[in-house]
Amino acid sequence: MHRLFAELEPSVTVTEQNLADRVRFRTAIPVWRIRIEERIARARALIGRLICFKSGNTRPRIVRIVRMEFAWTNVSLSQPDIIQRLTERIDELKQRIATWGKRIRRYTERSTRFNQNRLFLSDHKRLYKSF
């Protein structure tokens, strides 16, 4: 019995494998930026679904998503002011997307300026060739 277990090779756990994948495929994009871009993508998808529901699409999947979105409030989909609530929620999501995008844009501009300044100090020719 012990000999059978001795012949088995030690295996890697799932978390160790995921960690190895992250280290192996590290990119120059910061992790926080990737998370924000994923948030933006989810918010855009939700806006599209809310607009579909607002325009009259009552497929079960769309209705379920809208119901989940308003689950934290006392809003029922049969209330007369649901269109106004949908419009407010869509506008709020658009403002959040604009804020997240502005954060990424500020970082990108700052990073570009920093790299250009550093390149200017070390090698003028290479900087001007890049323009």
State the residue range of the domain holding 57: 31-108
Per-residue pLDDT at 53:
93
Length of the chain: 131
Domain assignment present for 20: no
Has residue 50 been placed in a domain? yes
pTM score of the predicted model: 0.71
In the prediction, which pLDDT does 17 show?
Answer: 61
Q: What is the domain count for the chain? A: 1
Following DSSP, what letter does each residue of 1-40 receive, concatenated? -HHHHHHSPPPPPHHHHHHHHHHHT--SS-HHHHHHHHHH
Within a domain: 25: no
CA distance 122 to 124: 7
- 103 falls within a domain: yes
C-alpha 127/C-alpha 48 separation (Å) is 43
Domain assignment present for residue 81? The answer is yes
The answer to whether residue 73 is domain-embedded is yes
Q: Determine, yes or no, domain membership for 125.
A: no
Question: Per residue in 54-87, is it b (16+ CB within 10 Å) or e — as a string?
Answer: eeeeeeeeeeebbeebbeeeebeeeeeebeebbe
The pLDDT, as a whole number, for residue 33 is 95
Q: Is 131 part of a structural domain of the chain?
A: no
pLDDT at 54: 92
Q: What tokens were used for 25?
A: 């495929």
State residue 113's pLDDT score: 94
For the chain, residues with pLDDT lower than 50 are none
